[in-house]
């Protein structure tokens, strides 16, 4: 097959990102414009503000990425875009930009599910090997996905309530840590001791997860300490919280690998940046002869490079959209 160069757009949350990816594996250029500092003052992403900034930034980010690649639209074979899930106002900006480019330059339009993008971030590190299990851990998702081949996704379990990143961010808030709290809790977790008696969440035979009980337990401890006039031992609380999260994620992922007789594990999403989770999975995978692929930090959080990688395999499967395509706030993988 002839080479295929995809211009991809990601705008599902608070990052405006555009990338140019060749054949699903080669990153030619990526731009990520984050609004994190703007939303940090509000303690979380404000959807209306996010979409307004996407509108202001999208054209600039597209032009910069083409310039960095030394390319023009004539060098692009197709347009890939995150159509969902995410914040609807944010998604619409990327989708509209992608549709406009596809229409003006007469290029195929490839819709990409955000989680497929996170999974295919690993393809930019090393070509995926199948069958595999993907542990998807982000601000909006906690899922175990079985893939027997490219672009085939079978969800075998997921969170029943809060996503793991969401639980991190909410737990961080009661520890008085700034948004996004996940990386800050992770850092502190390496400085404290596991002294708080927190429950291991949903330790059952399913592949599902539940983090709201654990999050509430952290909030209760913080309030109780406060009422007694005690200081919260923040580092110890971070360590105790992270240990439970990492233990349950590792335990259920390992069981899935065994029961599905799979030797390849990939980790995807913002929480894949977590040092505690990475080292726990590395240790267990080494012991159990499992090939582990975790993306470098720059591919863990939202970016368009991962969307460009996924778009190539979506295209090979014939997943194309026309100009009636719309953004979807929620959609299953």
Residues engaged in binding Zn ion (CB under 5 A): 138, 302
Choose, by CB under 6 A, the member of 84, 201, 270, 308 that binds ligand KG4. Answer: 270
Nearer to ligand KG4, 5 or 139 (CB): 139
Interface stretch with ligand KG4, choices 20-28, 133-141, 200-208, 257-265 (CB under 6 A): 133-141
DSSP string of 5-72, one letter each residue: EEEEEE-SSSEEEEEEEETTTEEEEEEEEE-HHHHHTTTS--HHHHHHHHHHHHHHHHHHHHHHHT--
* Type and span of the H or E element at 246: helix 234-259
Residue nearer to ligand KG4 on the CB measure, 143 or 169? 169
Minimum CB separation of residue 86 from Zn ion in Å reads 8
Closest by CA to 30, choosing from 8, 54, 11, 51, is 8
Spell out, one character per residue from 152 to 191, where the chain touches ligand KG4: x when CB under 6 A holds, - when not: -------------x--xx----------xxxx--x-----
Output the smallest distance, CB 114 to Zn ion, in A: 6
Using CA atoms of 78, 79, 83, 85 in order, give the dihedral in degrees to the nearest 10: 90
Identity of the residue, 24 or 117, whose beta carbon is nearer to ligand KG4 in the bound complex = 117
Kindly report the number of other CB atoms within 10 A of residue 147's CB atom: 20
Query: Which of ligand KG4, Zn ion, none does 117 bind, CB closer than 5 to 8 A by kind?
Result: none
How far apart (Å, rounded) are the C-alpha atoms in residues 252 and 250?
6
**What is the DSSP code (8-state) at residue 160?**
S
Interacting partner of 111 out of Zn ion, ligand KG4, none (Cβ under 5 to 8 A depending on kind): none
Q: Which residues bind ligand KG4 (CB under 6 A)?
A: 13, 138-140, 165, 168-169, 180-183, 186, 269-271, 273-274, 301-302
């Amino acid at each position: 097959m002839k080479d295929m160069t995809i211009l991809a757009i990601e705008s599902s949350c608070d990052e405006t990102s555009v990338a140019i990816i060749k054949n699903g594996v080669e990153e030619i250029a990526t731009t990520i414009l984050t609004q994190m500092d703007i939303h940090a003052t509000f303690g979380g992403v404000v959807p209306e503000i996010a979409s307004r900034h996407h509108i202001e930034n999208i054209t600039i980010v597209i032009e910069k990425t083409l310039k960095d690649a030394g390319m023009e639209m004539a060098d692009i074979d197709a347009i890939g875009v995150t159509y969902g899930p995410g914040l609807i106002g944010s998604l619409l900006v990327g989708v509209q930009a992608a549709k406009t480019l596809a229409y003006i330059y007469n290029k195929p339009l490839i819709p990409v599910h955000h989680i497929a993008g996170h999974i295919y971030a690993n393809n930019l590190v090393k070509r995926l090997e199948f069958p595999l299990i993907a542990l998807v851990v982000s601000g909006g998702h906690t899922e175990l996905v079985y893939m027997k081949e490219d672009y085939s996704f079978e969800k075998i379990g997921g969170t029943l309530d809060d996503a793991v990143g969401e639980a991190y961010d909410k737990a961080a808030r009661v520890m008085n840590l700034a948004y996004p709290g996940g990386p800050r809790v992770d850092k502190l977790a390496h400085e404290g001791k596991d002294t708080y008696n927190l429950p291991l969440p949903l330790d059952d035979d399913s592949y599902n997860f539940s983090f709201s009980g654990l999050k509430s337990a952290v909030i209760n401890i913080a309030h109780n300490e406060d009422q007694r006039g005690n200081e919260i031992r923040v580092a110890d609380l971070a360590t105790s919280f992270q240990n439970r999260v990492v233990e349950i994620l590792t335990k259920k992922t390992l069981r899935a690998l065994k029961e599905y007789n799979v030797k390849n594990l990939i980790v995807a999403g913002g929480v894949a940046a977590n040092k505690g989770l990475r080292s726990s999975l590395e240790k267990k995978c080494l012991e159990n002869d499992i090939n582990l692929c975790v993306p470098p930090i720059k591919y863990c959080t939202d970016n368009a490079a991962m969307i460009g990688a996924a778009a190539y395999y979506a295209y090979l499967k014939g997943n194309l959209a026309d100009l009636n395509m719309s953004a979807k706030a929620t959609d299953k993988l």
